[in-house]
């Protein structure tokens, strides 16, 4: 076997080094962080906080912003999503390179004649279409980064909503405990007065019924508090929620609501799912162009050949190998179907974005109006009625149980005010999310136990 010429050997070695080596893929988290940081004020990192850092944050009552920051740093589901994005980045990086060159060797004998054949070959079709492949793969990576950023912002919105519900549950639990204590005191007073002959059985039964309602409402509120708290603990990826401290009450209602002019256009410009759909559409269009270019020739290889024999002079030359898609339509039909799918998905995403933005803003304004009406009208009116009843009690115009009955009627007003404030802050979190990603706005819910207490 005769060695290959030195220059050709060096050239093939250089080609192998340039195309076959593996380099580290680019940082795939940094682009996602640039997309999310303007909305979260928190850069993304693949490094989890230590146990001491988490404990330090939990020493003080956790605010909504602090809860979002901790979730973006410590949520294991988000970390897995970012790690999966690194896998995609590595695949895209590998797809944008030339395939490794191939080497063929054969040894043929005919009597005493020994023939050796050696050849190097590269995928020439891949080389010619490499710029188009790289552009398409970059669009795919950008679409994945946009989707990862949308998932990150969805986690931030879920954490904020969970924080609102957890704090509201804490406040409701404290109030229901006060109601139960008052109901127990009223029931005990009714028992003593009946024993003394100053109270009838019907009036005492009413007080006992209110006490039972108060205990039942407290049990339901404790269950709701547990569920809301554990939901927040899961989003923060805390192993033990016992160290989690929350504020005693929600922030006050703002003075005025937001004015969102051109909310549909704002959603189309900012929403990451819309941007990801656009990038996917561009990537599918480039893939369709690539499929059309390789419609008739799916593989084109160019190589060098060197044959040597112990009885004949050495043969040198080159060869071209073609692979023709004679037994199938090739990749074009699939690429056309994917392009049609991407076009429909992009249009549907835009329709969903506009509708969700309108719905979220409408529910936000409605929640603000309801909360303001409870704060400025219904609750002050209930307090005024209570004050008037207290004046009548001091003037000995009504008895203690009439005063207690009026106090029980205030339970519904206070509970409805708390729930209206909770619904407003949830609606604001939904509105913020609707401007950057997918959201299913939650309709406000009324308490089931309040009307029962108000009827006594």
Q: For residue 39, is it within any domain?
A: no
**Span 147-172, pLDDT tens digits:** 889 899 999 999 999 999 999 999 99
- The answer, yes or no, to whether residue 23 has pLDDT greater than 50, is no
- The answer, yes or no, to whether residue 247 has pLDDT greater than 90, is yes
Q: For residue 292, is it within any domain?
A: yes
Provide the pLDDT for residue 250: 94
Tell me, yes or no, if the pTM score tops 0.85. Answer: no
Q: For residue 88, is it within any domain?
A: yes
Q: For residue 21, is it within any domain?
A: no
The CA-based dihedral angle spanning residues 348, 352, 355, 358, taken in that order and rounded to the nearest 10 degrees: -140
Please state, in angstroms and rounded to a whole number, the distance separating the CA atoms of residues 374 and 414. Answer: 9
Provide the pLDDT for residue 401: 65
Provide the pLDDT for residue 134: 73
CATH number of the domain that 322 lies in?
1.20.1600.10
Largest CA distance in the chain: 132
Task: Label residue 450 by pLDDT band (50, 70, 90).
Answer: very low
Interior/surface letters 361-384, b for 16+ CB within 10 angstroms, e for the rest: bebbbebbebbbebbeebbeebee
Better-predicted residue by pLDDT, 411 or 371: 371
> For 353-378, what is the mean pLDDT?
92
Tokens of 157: 């919105």
Q: For residue 104, is it within any domain?
A: yes
Task: Write down the mean pLDDT value for the chain.
Answer: 79
Provide the pLDDT for residue 303: 63
Please state, in angstroms and rounded to a whole number, the distance separating the CA atoms of residues 428 and 232. Answer: 18
Q: For residue 16, is it within any domain?
A: no
The fraction of the chain above a pLDDT of 90, given in percent, is 28
Provide the pLDDT for residue 296: 54
Q: For residue 378, is it within any domain?
A: yes
- The answer, yes or no, to whether residue 74 has pLDDT greater than 50, is yes
Please state, in angstroms and rounded to a whole number, the distance separating the CA atoms of residues 428 and 432. Answer: 6
| Residue whose tokens read 């016992």 | 242
CB contact at 8 A, 115 and 276: no
Task: Label residue 455 by pLDDT band (50, 70, 90).
Answer: very low
Please state, in angstroms and rounded to a whole number, the distance separating the CA atoms of residues 389 and 398. Answer: 8
Q: For residue 168, is it within any domain?
A: yes
CB contact at 8 A, 372 and 250: no
Better-predicted residue by pLDDT, 220 or 397: 220
- The answer, yes or no, to whether residue 322 has pLDDT greater than 80, is no
- The answer, yes or no, to whether residue 256 has pLDDT greater than 90, is yes
Task: Label residue 6 by pLDDT band (50, 70, 90).
Answer: very low
- The answer, yes or no, to whether residue 298 has pLDDT greater than 60, is no
Q: How does DSSP classify residue 75?
A: -
Please state, in angstroms and rounded to a whole number, the distance separating the CA atoms of residues 116 and 108. Answer: 6
- Structural domain span for residue 339: 6-11+50-454
> For 127-135, what is the mean pLDDT?
65
Please state, in angstroms and rounded to a whole number, the distance separating the CA atoms of residues 336 and 415. Answer: 57
- The answer, yes or no, to whether residue 369 has pLDDT greater than 70, is yes
> For 38-60, what is the mean pLDDT?
89
Please state, in angstroms and rounded to a whole number, the distance separating the CA atoms of residues 168 and 415. Answer: 10
Task: Label residue 90 by pLDDT band (50, 70, 90).
Answer: confident
Task: Label residue 422 by pLDDT band (50, 70, 90).
Answer: very high
**Span 379-411, pLDDT tens digits:** 888 888 778 777 776 777 776 667 666 666 678
- The answer, yes or no, to whether residue 374 has pLDDT greater than 80, is yes
Region of poorest pLDDT, from 77-81, 139-143, 392-396, 415-419: 392-396
Tokens of 30: 């940094």
Task: Label residue 19 by pLDDT band (50, 70, 90).
Answer: very low
The fraction of the chain above a pLDDT of 70, given in percent, is 73
Strands (E) located in 249-383 = 299-309, 315-323
Region of poorest pLDDT, from 105-114, 225-234, 300-309, 422-431: 300-309
Provide the pLDDT for residue 253: 94
> For 334-358, what is the mean pLDDT?
87
Task: Label residue 244 by pLDDT band (50, 70, 90).
Answer: very high
Task: Label residue 12 by pLDDT band (50, 70, 90).
Answer: very low
Q: How many domains does the chain have?
A: 1
């Amino acid at each position: 076997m005769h060695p290959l010429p030195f220059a050709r050997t060096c050239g093939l070695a250089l080609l192998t080094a340039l195309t076959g080596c593996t380099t580290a893929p680019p940082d795939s988290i940094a682009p996602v962080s640039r997309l999310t940081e303007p909305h979260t004020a928190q850069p993304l990192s693949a490094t989890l906080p230590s146990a001491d850092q988490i404990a330090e944050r939990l020493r003080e009552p956790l605010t909504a912003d602090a809860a979002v920051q901790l979730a973006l740093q410590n949520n294991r589901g988000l970390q897995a999503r970012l790690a999966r994005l690194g896998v995609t980045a590595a695949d895209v990086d590998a797809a944008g390179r030339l395939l490794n060159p191939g080497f063929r060797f054969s040894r043929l004998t005919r009597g005493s004649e020994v023939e050796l054949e050696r050849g190097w070959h590269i995928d020439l079709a891949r080389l010619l279409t490499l710029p188009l492949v790289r552009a398409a793969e970059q669009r795919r990576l950008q679409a994945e980064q946009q989707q990862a950023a949308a998932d990150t912002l969805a986690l931030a919105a879920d954490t904020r909503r969970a924080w609102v519900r957890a704090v509201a549950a804490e406040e409701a639990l404290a109030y229901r405990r006060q109601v139960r204590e008052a109901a127990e005191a009223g029931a005990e007073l009714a028992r003593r007065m009946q024993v003394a002959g100053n109270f009838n059985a019907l009036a005492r039964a009413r007080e006992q019924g209110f006490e039972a309602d108060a205990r039942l409402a407290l049990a339901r509120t404790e269950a709701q508090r547990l569920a809301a708290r554990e939901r927040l603990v899961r989003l923060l990826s805390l192993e033990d929620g016992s160290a989690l401290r929350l504020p005693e009450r929600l922030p006050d209602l703002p003075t005025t609501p937001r004015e969102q002019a051109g909310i549909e256009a704002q959603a189309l410009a900012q929403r990451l799912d819309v941007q990801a759909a656009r990038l996917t559409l561009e990537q599918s269009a480039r893939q369709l162009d690539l499929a059309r270019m390789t419609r008739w020739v799916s593989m084109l290889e160019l190589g060098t050949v060197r044959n040597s024999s112990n009885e004949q002079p050495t043969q040198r030359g080159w060869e071209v190998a073609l692979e023709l898609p004679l037994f199938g339509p090739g990749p074009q039909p699939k690429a056309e179907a994917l392009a049609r799918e991407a076009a429909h998905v992009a249009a549907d995403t835009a329709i969903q974005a506009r509708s969700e933005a309108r719905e979220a803003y409408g529910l936000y304004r409605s929640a603000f109006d309801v909360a303001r009406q409870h704060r400025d009208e219904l609750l002050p009116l209930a307090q005024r009625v209570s004050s008037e009843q207290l004046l009548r009690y001091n003037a000995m115009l009504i008895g203690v149980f009439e005063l207690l009955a009026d106090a029980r009627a205030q339970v519904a007003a206070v509970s409805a005010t708390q729930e209206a404030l909770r619904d407003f802050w949830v609606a604001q979190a939904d509105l913020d999310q609707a401007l950057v990603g997918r959201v299913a706005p939650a309709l406000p819910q009324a308490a089931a136990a309040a009307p029962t207490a108000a009827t006594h």
